[in-house]
Amino acid sequence: MIKRFALIPALALFLAAPVAFADPPAPEPGTFAAKPEAKSGWKKLGERVVQGKVDTDVIKPSSKAEFTSIAIFVEKEEIALYDIEIEFGNGEKFSPATRLLFKEGSRSRVIDLPGKERVIKKITFKYGNLDAKKHARVEVWAKKA
């Protein structure tokens, strides 16, 4: 009988171990809890406020680090993203298919950059607020190589 009771704590520890070391649960889609953290290898490249129904903005990262992918986060209002163009340090350009509507508090999928690691020189957005009287904020994050 004593041997059975000795096995219970060992069994409980064994069963709990995978849960204790598992990644935290994924945040709900569309929440800003989904923003990456710097320690996870992601770096915020910049942000812009969307002005009006049609707007063009450029983000020029101050970092010369090399990145493998980007993600776009939208808060405060809904926007339509018409086009995005990424220019790399060597002058090459990449325009991922992005004709999308973003709800407030949502994000894009992770967009892999072509090639291996890339220095991002600038990112040009063509977008607009769905309600021209309100202003969304767009953030771009990039995954370090």
Instruction: Give the model confidence (pLDDT) of 14-58 as tens digits.
Output: 444 433 333 334 444 433 345 666 557 889 999 999 998 999 999
pTM, to two decimals? 0.72
Domain ranges of the chain: 36-144
Stretch 112-125: mean pLDDT, rounded? Answer: 94
SS3 19: helix
Residue-wise over 29-65: b if at least 16 C-beta within 10 A, else e? eeeeeeebeeeeebbebbebebeeeebebebebeeee
pLDDT at 100: 82
Name the percent of the chain lying above pLDDT 90.
Answer: 52
SS3 34: helix
SS3 33: helix
Architecture of domain 36-144: Sandwich (2.60)
Round to whole Å and give the CA distance between 76 and 133: 12
